[in-house]
Amino acid sequence: MKIFLDCDVLLDVMLGREKFFIHSMRVLDECENGALQGAIAWHTLSNAYYLVPDSRQSLTFFEDLLSFVEVVGGDTELALEAIRSSFPDFEDALQMVCAEKFETDFIVTRNVKDYKLSPIKAISPSDFIGKFLAE
């Protein structure tokens, strides 16, 4: 199964967000062990980098992450598609067009409501685990 990871999932792990860490980490673990094929948008790296206070921690995290998660790059066509979409938030539109390019099954995000207009179903890490990774 192919999943596209929104920036908040990475930030949950990078910042150790107590309430969300365990579910976001489990999704990343499943990507790392090969059970899931994961991807992020190119701009997610810069977004997360600037939101984490420790830049060395960010780069170390990214280096590890990129050993098992793909990065989907954008181009002029995708940027225009995002601009012309009806998404109220441009960054979410960029995420969505990159997710489409990756041909993902789900966008894994805690901001499910932000993807109401997405042709790809958005699901929270905890709901994804409950539906697809239950033990």
% of the chain exceeding 90 in pLDDT: 98
Average pLDDT, the chain: 96
φ/ψ (deg, to 5) at 22: -60, -40
List, for residues 42-53, the tens digit of each pLDDT value.
999 999 999 999
Give the SS3 label for residue 26: helix
Closest CA to 24 of 135, 127, 131, 132: 127
Count of the separate structural domains present in the chain = 1
What's the mean pLDDT in 101-111?
A: 97
CATH of residue 41's domain is 3.40.50.1010
DSSP code, position 113: G
Type and span of the H or E element at 125:
helix 125-132
Residues 94 and 79 sit within 8 Å (Cβ to Cβ): yes
List, for residues 2-33, the tens digit of each pLDDT value.
999 999 999 999 999 999 999 999 999 999 99
Residue 119: domain span: 2-132
**pTM, rounded to two decimals:** 0.96
pLDDT at 134: 75
What's the mean pLDDT in 55-84?
A: 97
